[in-house]
Structure 1
Amino acid sequence: MSGSLNNIYNNVSYALYLHSVEMIRLQEQVTTGSRINRPSDDPSCSYRVLTLNSQEKSLGNYINDLSEAVGTLDLSFTVIQDIQSAIVETKVRLTQVMGGIYNEENREQLAEGINDTLEKVVSLANTKHIGQYQFGGNNTKSAPYLVERTNGKITSVTYQGSLENREIEVAPGIKSSALHVGYDIFHSDDRSDPVFLGDTGAAAGSGTSSVKGDAWLTVTDDGGGSYDLSIDDGATKVNVAAEVLAGANIANIAVTNASGEVLYVDATNISSTGVDMVSVPGTYNIFDTLISVRDLLRNERELSDAQLRELQDNSLTVLDEINELIVQAEVTIGSKIGFLDNLKESLEKLKYDAEDEATLLQEADIAQIAIDLSRREVLYQMSLSIAGKLMSLSLLDFIG
């Protein structure tokens, strides 16, 4: 008898306990609004939710990186547009000079304007954003362009940034860069044969010269019936007769400057002294071009009007070359912005889908829970009523 009562008591107590546990679980779901509050609530769904949350976090990081990359590219695009505007303005001014609109005094003022443009372009090329230089490639800590000045005026601009891009992963398996190698944007690298502009009779040799942009070939009489050649204003000289005596080909004499750059000259038809400007198409950069235009307007070499006009006409061609470089950079950056924007939208959709699926798995159906909770409460009350009757059994109930 005692054993039977104990069994009844234990069974009733356990049943009430199960009811209370389930009611507590349902009440917790109502309070939190979540169907899964701990892994044990639904191990399979819990694992899926954890996977989705991890995916959502990873996608969020990619989206943040993309937003930063697009912002950086937008800034670069604006900078390059400003530089292109400066090039177009310079070309317009030079065209006006060639049309005779400016007198000598006006040309000096215009040269100052070109100098201001040069200062602006250098500043833009050294743009820094979020602690990183935009146009230094993989080297983002130091300014990519080093300036040398003479009497306060820029005479040389040297690229000291990296020639490699810094790439970041912007999506699983996809890498891109938001920073740029300035040398690839502002410098042309499609060397053609040198073009000699002048009256000395010098011409391009057959060797591959290493000078870039514009060079000035100075031809002077050596006093012995031959000529000295120099491309650094006489700092270093090459004597034509001496070179020929040493076995050099007069049609391909190497003239080297103090920096080690070489210009191969065909001296066969040199007939007079003077200064020739040597233009090397496909090797110009925006900075040296602006320096050259500024110095031409000042005419510090005291060139004749005919020479000036020829050189200014060549400068227009060079400005077109530089402008084409800048336009190509604009197109490239614009395309990259479009690609990254589209990629960002795709990742945002994937992130939304992951969030939505995780929410559906976790979110409690309040209406269904209310029904289940009501049912459980009824069952609990019925269980309590039955338990009360069972617990009131005594020995007398079993007699008779």
Structure 2
Amino acid sequence: MRVSTHQTQQVAIDAMLDQQKKLSTVQHQVATGRRITRPSDDPVAAARVLNLRNTLGTAEQQQENIAAARTHLTMEESILGNATSIIQRVRELTVQANNDSLTPQDRGFVAEEVNQLNMELFNLANSTNSTGEFMFSGSKTKFRPFNNSANGGFEYHGDDSQRFLLIGPERQIAIGDSGSNIFRSIKDGNGEFTIFDSESNKGNAIIDPGNTTGDFIDGHYAIVFAKVVHPDGSKDFSYKVTDEKGEIIIPEGTPYDDGDAIIFKGVNTYVEGEPEDGDFFTVRPSENQDVFTTIDRIVKALKGSSGNSSDHAGLHNEANRTLVGLDQAMGNILEVRATVGARLNALDGQEDINESYKLQIKQTLSKVEDLDYSQAVSELNLKLTGLEASQKAFTRIQGISLFNYL
């Protein structure tokens, strides 16, 4: 086989270039600190690195979600705390106004302060977050949740859903609560039933909001009083209780004295003061009523109160209903605040778990792709020696020609 001078030199050049390529690869590894600089270096390990980086990216996103959820829930907790303070102040003013020593003008001043507090509470329910989204609209974050209706009431334009963020591989957490759940899903009365005095009542009877004795049997009932005035001026009072069908629950003529307990169908209440003949009170199951309406009713009662005894009785009855209604509202908000606190604690726990998980991923990733510097330096020196040998060999071969032997 013939071996030409060109062929001999080409073999030497190829060997030198191969050594340069290997040296360049090792130098790049040392410079980047990575054993795998391109997929072809180790296809199996490169695929694993890609998977680990995706997993790490997901964990980091979950940590960002935790930070976002914490910001939102902390803001919500603060708003609910302010709402509780407002309701507590309204309760104090209602107790203050529920006093016969106040003049109509005094009650007007109280009504104005209560009305301002109600507006403040209304604005809190329409709070927005840092991005301008309404916090208590459920999933309808672009819509103002609460608005005044045409008839003077309050309307809710959000929904009952909650928004969730992924904070762990298989864990989501609610980052808010709907305004309906916080401010509207509140049972009026004592939570089981509520008692109303008739607007036509003439006496000064004041009924207690009542409590349950055993299980309250749902239904609508009427407590109707009768009054008999004897020639000597003495008075006898009696009452009866009927249901919505007119069926007798407690028979007519049942004697009644001021403060006596009235017990039927799980209802336990009493009346103070003197009812006129035909005065009555109705009992119905509790229904959801927003806290704004509860406060608005006491405002109207305070503004409409005059000096006569029946007006005073109406105010006292409304005040009593308001007090138990405010207690229900505060209880509801405190329950929501408790869940918010629990979610904040859950975020702290999951954040620690995610940090540990990220550390494990980074350690595994380091083992797969990071360079062993001691081994790499040894290999670098070896490649340098190999390149120098190739260069020297090329220099010697370059000066050799077959014509020197002819």
User: TM-score under structure 1 normalisation?
Assistant: 0.72
Encode CA deviations 1:95-134: one digit per residue, 9 max, x unaligned.
Answer: 3334678544332111111000110111111112223221
Encode CA deviations 1:7-34: one digit per residue, 9 max, x unaligned.
Answer: 7545433332221111111222233333
| Residues 52 and 361, structure 2, Cα contact 8 Å, conserved in 1 | yes
| Residues 29 and 35, structure 2, Cα contact 8 Å, conserved in 1 | yes
Encode CA deviations 1:363-393: one digit per residue, 9 max, x unaligned.
Answer: 3344543332223222222232234334444
Alignment-mate amino acid for residue 393 of structure 2: I
Alignment-mate amino acid for residue 186 of structure 2: S
Alignment-mate amino acid for residue 385 of structure 2: V
Aligned residues: 349
1:128 partner SS: coil
Match for residue 300 of structure 2 among 295, 302, 321: 295
CA gap of 1:207–1:346, structure 2 versus 1, over 3 A, is closer
Please name the residue that 1:330 is paired with.
337
Aligned mates of 2:299, 2:276 — CA distance in 1: 30
Match for residue 320 of structure 1 among 327, 331, 334: 327
Matches within 5 A, 1:350-389: 350-389=357-396
Aligned mates of 1:344, 1:299 — CA distance in 2: 55
Please name the residue that 1:135 is paired with.
136
Matches within 5 A, 1:48-63: 48-63=48-63
Please name the residue that 2:154 is paired with.
157
Aligned mates of 1:123, 1:194 — CA distance in 2: 28
Alignment-mate amino acid for residue 296 of structure 1: A
TM-aligned CA deviation for residue 349 of structure 1: 3.3
1:138 partner SS: coil
Aligned mates of 2:277, 2:100 — CA distance in 1: 30
**4-13 or 35-44, larger mean C-alpha shift:** 4-13
Please name the residue that 2:25 is paired with.
25
Please name the residue that 2:231 is paired with.
none
1:3 partner SS: coil
1:135 partner SS: coil
| Residues 112 and 294, structure 1, Cα contact 8 Å, conserved in 2 | yes
> Structure 1: where are the runs of 5+ without partners?
210-216, 220-246, 253-269
Alignment-mate amino acid for residue 353 of structure 1: Q
Aligned mates of 1:101, 1:15 — CA distance in 2: 110
Alignment-mate amino acid for residue 136 of structure 2: F
Aligned mates of 1:113, 1:191 — CA distance in 2: 27
TM-aligned CA deviation for residue 39 of structure 1: 0.8
Aligned mates of 1:35, 1:101 — CA distance in 2: 88
| Residues 69 and 175, structure 2, Cα contact 8 Å, conserved in 1 | yes
Please name the residue that 2:312 is paired with.
305
User: TM-score under structure 2 normalisation?
Assistant: 0.71
Encode CA deviations 1:283-302: one digit per residue, 9 max, x unaligned.
Answer: 34311221122223224476
2:138 partner SS: coil
Aligned mates of 2:403, 2:149 — CA distance in 1: 115
Aligned mates of 1:194, 1:251 — CA distance in 2: 20
Please name the residue that 1:44 is paired with.
44
TM-aligned CA deviation for residue 47 of structure 1: 1.1
Aligned mates of 1:395, 1:304 — CA distance in 2: 131
- Compute the RMSD of aligned alpha carbons: 4.1
| Residues 305 and 311, structure 2, Cα contact 8 Å, conserved in 1 | no
Aligned mates of 2:276, 2:90 — CA distance in 1: 36
CA gap of 1:272–1:143, structure 2 versus 1, over 3 A, is farther
Aligned mates of 2:329, 2:39 — CA distance in 1: 64
Aligned mates of 1:12, 1:335 — CA distance in 2: 74
Aligned mates of 2:218, 2:402 — CA distance in 1: 124
Please name the residue that 1:175 is paired with.
172
